[in-house]
Amino acid sequence: MSSVQTVLAFGLTCHSAILGLERSAILGLDRSATRLNDVQRLAFGTSLTIDVRSLPLDYTSTRGLHHSAILMFGLLTLQGKVAIVTGGATGIGAEAVRIFVENGASVVIADIKDELGHSLATSFGSEKVSYRHCDVRDENEVEETVAFTVEKYSSLDILFSNAGIAGPYSSLLDLDLNEFDNTMAINVRGVAATIKHAARVMVAKKIHGSIICTASVASSVGGSAGHEYTVSKHGVLGLVRSACGEFGAYGIRVNSVSPYALASPLTCDALDWGPAEVDAAQHGSANLEGITLKANHIAEAALFLASDESLYISGHNLVVDGGFTAVNRWLPRIQK
């Protein structure tokens, strides 16, 4: 084995060991509300991969590089960008609208809850926020919403395809196929329609846009939600990965955010519980102690994926679950 092959093999072994250590350590750190994650990268020029000392100083400085290979990031910003947020009248969508606007974006709220949507839009007191009635099951309404956005704001840089329903909880033995079809029509077909028409604009206008879809921890594990919802969110994740493969050629990024249970209107309605009951159930099965997941946490994850801070991230499912899907939650009980 050559010296280069030896270094590469050793490097891969080390990185695998780090991943294993992270997944193991999370069990011991969760009770102190300590979060543990890793960053995996494709090869790029740093002091680890090139000897920057051999390059002229003006080469590194003009390209934003420094011999220490430390990157200093600015504030997240969507200044000058235009976004559509489906399901934007309440819950995660409404929080995303707020945080997108705070970071400089013009936003079209797309929803079927007209009174709430109009109220949210007018609360900003700005022409930068508009409401548009849009039932994502109707492709014509989706196409019209995209056209309205481009006509009013002259661009479309961000799609947050967030509209969805949870559907009733029932045994698979008693599955209502009409309810199943409706859930799939909103959660999967609706997402496909929004991606289709938003991406058409981005491709035609040569916009290196960002498409974010709301998936769920139910897209990673079974038994965490109703059957219809679980199937639909697996479909969303597949759609994200498939769209990523096609639209990468146009510089369009496609990602998803996967929330753990939170007391959103969607969850409360599906369970027929109040927010306090949902929060209590969440804490009962959560991995990360001392933190209650809220809609703004998901919106902030969507902001990251919408912004240029995630410029080389595509095809990724950003799980916001405090480690719920990463660990065997029964193991700590066995160890005790």
The Cα 229–Cα 218 span in angstroms is 8
Q: Can you list the pairs that 150-156 forms with residues at least 24 positions away whose Cβ atoms lie under 8 Å? A: 150/201, 152/108, 153/82, 153/106, 153/108, 154/82, 155/81, 155/82, 155/205, 155/207, 156/82, 156/83, 156/84, 156/198, 156/201, 156/202, 156/205, 156/207, 156/209
- The catalytic position among 131, 153, 229, 260 is 229
Return the closest-CA partner of residue 229 out of 166, 173, 171, 273: 166
Say if residues 264 and 92 touch (Cβ distance below 8 Å). yes
Count helices and strands in the chain by DSSP H and E runs: 12, 7
The H or E element that residue 200 is part of is: helix 190-204
Active site residue 131: no
DSSP 107: E
* Single-letter residue type at 74: G
The Cα 204–Cα 206 span in angstroms is 6
Lookup: tokens for 302: 């969507």
Catalytic sites, residue numbers: 229
